Amino acid sequence: MKKTKVYVACALTYASDEFKNSIEIFKERLRKESNLIILDFYGPAGPDEDQSSGEIYEHDIHVCVENSEIILAECSYPSTGLGWELGTAVEKRKIPVLAIAEKDALVTELALGAECARNPSFAFKRYENILDMIPVLQKMIHELGLG
């Protein structure tokens, strides 16, 4: 079975510890999916919080975004870094993105507007329980022929 490389991107700098912990739990649950390889970001709550800004940029953009086959972007919190990653994925790499947010989160219109004819492999979904996004991700992977 082919394994699909997934980068789970999200806000870190201004996100609460509770949110960051929920993302780590979500990533651990995704790792239990036998057809997925989860790529890890650097920075707060990443593998090594002692990375320099340059190392974080190189790793997150040139390792994670460049090597992923699909990005799952959690958009509930504003984030310059997440925006940069999404821009790289959508405009430069043209790779599929599943953007998600909590049901009541205020999300930038730019991210919402990216789900359009210009970007046929960009989808935006809202959730009450983030774990409900796993079958949505799996369906998107299947429909795009990535797995």
Does a structural domain hold residue 147? no
Neighbours of 54 (CB within 10 A): 8
Neighbours of 100 (CB within 10 A): 25
Find the range with the poorest average confidence among 48-57, 87-96, 99-108: 48-57
pLDDT tens digits, residue range 23-63? 999 999 999 999 999 999 986 544 556 788 899 999 999 99
- Cα 4 to chain centroid, rounded: 14
Does a structural domain hold residue 78? yes
Does a structural domain hold residue 142? no
Does a structural domain hold residue 38? yes
Q: CATH code at 90?
A: 3.40.50.450
What is the chain's mean pLDDT, rounded? 94
Does a structural domain hold residue 95? yes
What range does the domain containing 40 cover? 4-137
Number of domains into which the chain is organized: 1
Residue predicted with more confidence, 45 or 89? 89
Spatial separation of the C-alpha atoms in residues 9 and 41, rounded to whole Å: 7
User: Quick one: what percent of the chain has pLDDT higher than 90?
Assistant: 88
pLDDT at 147 over 90: no
